[in-house]
Amino acid sequence: MKKSGSVVANLPTFNVPDGYRPQADDTSLETDLLVFHLLHNQTVAERLQMGAQLTRSARQFSLTCFRQRFSHLDPTQFARKIAEAWLQKHCPPDYIPGGSAVSWIQDSIQLAQALHRIFMAAGIPYYVTGGVAAIAYGEARTTQDLDVVLQVSRDAVPSLAQALEQAGFYVPGVDAVVAGQMQILQITQINTISRADLIVAAVNPYEALKFARRQAYSMTEGNPTEDDLIYLASPEDLVVNKLRWGQRSQSQKQWRDVLGILKTQQGALDYNYMHQWAAEFDLSIQLEQVTLEAGVRPIADQQWAIATYPIIRRAFAIAQQRGRTTQPQPGLEVADGHHYTLIQNTHIPSLQVITKIDDRPVAQFDAQGNAIAAHPAQQDRRNWQAIAQRIDRPFPPDA
């Protein structure tokens, strides 16, 4: 392909990683890599604005088509028809949207900002998750609603519902949420036909950690105020949650969102954290597969090797202290453990980890502890996690 112009000339040459999968079957590998190279260089706010523009354009196109098809309806009937089409099964009975076509094309970003001010005034911590957060960290797409997790007691829900109603929201199901029969308040902004699911957070250590790791982003340039912020789930927690949702629903949309996040964020993610919680939820196989398809497996493996090097070095030192190393030839010192053989080479300063069962190289490090190569399997991650837990004991077992 002939390239011309300064922008095209400055594009990198893309090498397709093994196992890489484009977002759609009709998208070429080169095009997919280019799209995510460009998305990677954008800010969260820029990606959110791209998604917002898609949603506004989709709604505007829908309005135009409905006007042509239902020109015989009066304004009230037309407003109801639009609400039924956009909200579908979530459309409240007898709901007639207020506002006008101008307010109806509002996007989820504007809705999130409006809710942010209400939550801040009520002192309720929250984070946005779901499709809007996936857009912020990944590829742009349209969204039907806004998913928000609230750290709120059920006793405080009625006062929150009152504040939402005063701000122009339709808020059904309050009693069911207070009674613990439902976990979600499904609210609708009357003048904009915009919907949000407000999810009462579970009380457990992982949910508390997600709130501690949430991230605040400004939607304006310059010196943002508190009102300009939106709190998002961290990208790592979003990946884990979408894998969980995808496992339950078998939804390809969740998988595509995860691919988009990994392809866009690349080395900015904490893959060890994701592997930790994927294992907790029995999602290790899915996470391994999606990192392969996103082309980020080498990054994840490199992070694992860097984090595990101190444990590997400690295991080798323990073997030396116990006199359990051998020197099969000058310059080589070998420690044989239950699962792994550790080989220290002083001629070419390096430390290598090899599985005993099939002589498979797992990792290799230079004299400074930098990872030269890393190819951990799921079992290697589990094994070294177990070794790390045992190595702090007074008499740790062999590696």
Domain that holds residue 130: 44-293
pLDDT category of residue 247 using cuts at 50, 70 and 90: confident
Note whether 346 and 252 are same-domain residues. no
| CATH code of the domain containing 147 | 3.30.460.40
Q: Please give the structure tokens belonging to residue 70.
A: 């239902």
**Pairing mode of beta strands 194-200, 146-150:** parallel
- Rounded to 10°, the helix 205-213/235-249 angle is 130
Residues 311, 328: contact at Cβ < 8 Å? no
pLDDT tens-digit map of 259-311: 999 999 999 999 999 999 999 999 999 999 999 999 999 999 999 999 999 99
Share above pLDDT 70 across residues of the chain, in percent, rounded to a whole number: 95
pLDDT tens-digit map of 306-334: 999 999 999 999 999 999 999 999 999 99
Q: Please give the structure tokens belonging to residue 16.
A: 């397709």
Last residue of a domain, one of 293, 323, 358: 293
pLDDT tens-digit map of 203-242: 999 999 999 999 999 887 767 777 788 999 999 999 999 9
pLDDT tens-digit map of 129-161: 999 999 999 999 988 899 999 999 999 999 999
Average pLDDT, the chain: 92
106 vs 95: which has the higher pLDDT: 95
Note whether 106 and 242 are same-domain residues. yes
Distances in Å between the Cα of 207 and the Cα atoms of 112, 138, 198, 291 are 21, 23, 15, 24
Given a cut of 60, whether residue 355 has pLDDT beyond it is yes
Nearest residue to 296 (alpha-carbon basis) of 18, 29, 11, 32? 18
Last residue of a domain, one of 240, 271, 293: 293
Cα-Cα-Cα-Cα dihedral sign, residues 394, 395, 396, 399: positive
177: exposed, middle or buried (Cβ count in 10 Å: 0-12, 13-18, 19+): buried
User: Which residue in the block uniquely carries the two structure tokens 């890489």?
Assistant: 20
* CA–CA distance, 95 with 100 (Å, rounded to integer): 14
Last residue of a domain, one of 247, 265, 293: 293
Note whether 288 and 311 are same-domain residues. no
